Amino acid sequence: MVICAPTGSGKTVIFEMAIVQLLMSLDDMKYTGDFKIIYMAPVKALCTERLSEWYPKFTKLGLLCIEVTGDTDVDFSQLKPYRIIITTPEKWDMLTRRWRDHKSLVEVIKLFLIDEVHILNDETRGPVLEAVVSRMKTIESSVQSSHRIEQIQKRCEGLVEMNEEAPRIRFIAVSATVSNPEDVAAWLGTADRPAVFYKFGDECRPVKLNRIVEGYPCAEGTSIFKFDIILNYKLWPVIQKYHDGKPTLIFCNTRKSVLLTAETLSKELTINFNPEQKARLVALASTMKNKKLQSLIMSGVGCHHAGMLYEERMNIEQSFRNRDLPILITTTTLAMGVNLPAHLVIIKNTQQYVNGAYQEYSISTVLQMVGRAGRPQFDTEATAVIMTRLADKHRYQALVGGNEPLQSFLHKRLTENLNSEAALGTVTDVAQCVQWLRSTFLFVRAARDPRRYLGLPPSAPKSLISKKIEELCVKAMNGLASSGLITMDEASCIESTDAGRLMSIYYLDVETMKNIMKIDGTENLERLLNMVCDSHELSDMHLRVDERRCLNALNRNNTAATIRFPMKGKITTRQMKLNCMIQAVLGCLPIPDPSLNQEAMKVMRIADRICKCLVSYVTRPDLVSQQPQYFSAILNSIILAKCVTAHLWENSPFVSKQLKGIGPTFSALLASAGKVNFMLLEESHPRDLERVRLYRDLLLHLHKQVKNFWS
């Protein structure tokens, strides 16, 4: 089933009804075995929100819920007690790449719930969702085949009748922004079980939405950055015209734009707060560590972006929900994950900075932001304003009408996905490769729009479309074979190599795996670290102008400790930033910038995965036996992997930080007391450790007293 309906019309309830219906049908069948329900959403924030809603509801019905996202270090074996698994496409993709090792768990999946299915339109994340759902269809097909064989065997033995059916997976997908749900239904359904689709218009929207597109002149040669600044001075008139004294949410394209917009707007605001409102704003401001954010809040403007601390973002969100904060300025990520509606939504500028260049927002991103307008509990109508260049005004007027179809981008990540299917054994020859591709959304869209995907005219016959699809598969497979990730014989039979299997297991990009395969055995620790920083998995990290001072201080500083392998010159590239961050974490150096601190944790998780793959590759028995010179690279790879996992250099004096309950402060005190290895810690007299602990407590007490004195 595919449902397309406006934001706030109750799509989540459809998921809940489907779960209840499943429980009722299992009860009618007197089914007592295990079963699993998978809920998939594009971002972690949405998964967390769903867990908080569903845990108290479904625990009463005996269904344990668990959130499995990028921050969760679990594998299949730990999921057995749980009935509802809340996850993201990337995490589920990583887990199911080894599903054959855990068949007993994937075979009992009965319901697969896909939230925000319009993520298919995202060039980076769409292919992941598409590959995951197609894999679930493959798993279902495999279970069906195994069941039929088992039934035939039992019938031959006279044990059971043949009419028993194997469990089927039911797919339910919802979105607020899909104009072609029939294509999604064609993808999810099968010949014997076609999917149904329902498309509800604005008449089902609980709050009437007025969509307005404002175009502003942009002279030729004007940079997007300059145009963005010009729009800052156009905001207050727009807010005055449409806000009606109710909460306003403003979307900006970068974190820097969020702060610049907030500063400009705070100087123009003329909001009068009563004593109670002022007191609540003072309380909120006191939770912010940044002085600039505090002053902005006092003027009635809040900021929200991924560079802020988690607690700060939560406090800002709660204050905006409670209507204490009249204006909230945020980046586009808030539209995807957090249910934070407003009376007035403004999209300030329709271009964003991606991988070194500006590009237009995707259709789904714009519609998601527009969909945040309207609070059913407070409003009967709401307004969404798109501020763009005059030349693009007509385009966005057509876009918000919802006429743009959902597209597939799997063809841009076909090599990686085919490699994972080859490693799983799903495809063993080109014919099976083509068959797998027929189960994807790409195949549905290619048949509808052959010019876009295959370069064929709209009237192209099906036989020609199939031939072009086959050519796509052959090209991707030849690329994998030439890279040494699969082997292909003359009969087009395919077998994954050790490198191909490792690439799939560790969820790596093909370019990253190629770099690992170039290792010559002479690499030292510094060279291996540089290789990790060059990996494609970290390519979405950007070096921001306001981060350079902090990073340069970590790289070279005469008055404080710096990183182990300093880089020449200033930090000027993404790779240098990543290198500096990883080394700062390993060296237990404080990173004063909260934004960099948060990014560093994400970088360390990805680096851990790359390093584990690196170790698995260089320690293969065939490589070790044939290439003795690899021992140097093997040793350094293992050291780096252990360092990244422990968040410490191998010669670090702060070894105690690995122990539970010991943070940076206490480990530094232990190191200064000479407790620099586990043997010394074990041999320490309890009174020595007690003195260190008391000293730590005294420092914390003094710090607290000084802070209270100054405040």
Percent of the chain with pLDDT over 70: 90
Return the higher-pLDDT residue of 599 and 143.
599
Contact between residue 296 and residue 329 where contact means Cβ atoms under 8 Å apart: no
Domain with CATH 1.10.3380.10 in the chain: 510-652
Percent of the chain with pLDDT over 90: 39
Length of the chain: 711
The yes/no answer on whether domain 2-202 falls in CATH 3.40.50.300 is yes
Q: Is the pLDDT of residue 651 over 80?
A: yes
Give the confidence band of 163 by pLDDT, cuts at 50, 70, 90: very low
- Residue 661's region, left for phi above 0, alpha for psi from -120 to 50, else beta, is left
Q: Pick the range with the lowest mean pLDDT from 372-381, 566-575, 635-644.
A: 372-381
CATH says 414-494 is which class?
mainly alpha
Counting Cα atoms < 13 Å in the Cβ hemisphere of 563 gives 26
State residue 480's pLDDT score: 93
Which tens digit of pLDDT belongs to each residue from 345-388? 999 988 876 655 567 887 667 877 888 888 777 788 899 999 99
State residue 402's pLDDT score: 62
Which tens digit of pLDDT belongs to each residue from 17-74? 999 999 999 988 888 888 999 999 988 878 888 999 999 999 999 899 999 987 677 7
Mean pLDDT across the chain, nearest whole number? 85
Residues 525-561, buried b or exposed e (16+ Cβ, 10 A)? beebbbbbbbbbbbbebebbeebbebbbbbbeeeeee
Which tens digit of pLDDT belongs to each residue from 478-520? 999 999 999 988 877 889 999 999 999 998 999 999 999 998 8
Give the confidence band of 337 by pLDDT, cuts at 50, 70, 90: low
Domain with CATH 3.40.50.300 in the chain: 2-202, 207-399
State residue 159's pLDDT score: 59
Q: Is the pLDDT of residue 86 over 60?
A: yes
State residue 706's pLDDT score: 47
Measured CA to CA, the distance from residue 510 to residue 415 in angstroms comes to 8
Give the confidence band of 702 by pLDDT, cuts at 50, 70, 90: very low
- Which residues touch 349 (CB under 8 Å, ≥6 apart)? 224, 227, 228, 231, 252, 253, 257, 387, 388
**Which CATH number applies to 207-399?**
3.40.50.300
Q: Is the pLDDT of residue 182 over 80?
A: yes
Measured CA to CA, the distance from residue 325 to residue 247 in angstroms comes to 8
Which tens digit of pLDDT belongs to each residue from 185-210? 999 998 888 999 999 887 787 888 88
CATH of region 510-652, choose from 3.40.50.150, 1.10.10.10, 3.30.365.10, 1.10.3380.10: 1.10.3380.10
State residue 170's pLDDT score: 94
Give the confidence band of 630 by pLDDT, cuts at 50, 70, 90: confident
Q: Is the pLDDT of residue 105 over 90?
A: no
Q: Is the pLDDT of residue 83 over 90?
A: yes
Contact between residue 108 and residue 135 where contact means Cβ atoms under 8 Å apart: no
Domain with CATH 1.10.10.10 in the chain: 414-494
Residue with tokens 């961050």: 581
State residue 449's pLDDT score: 92
Average pLDDT (247-262) is: 90
Q: Is the pLDDT of residue 252 over 60?
A: yes
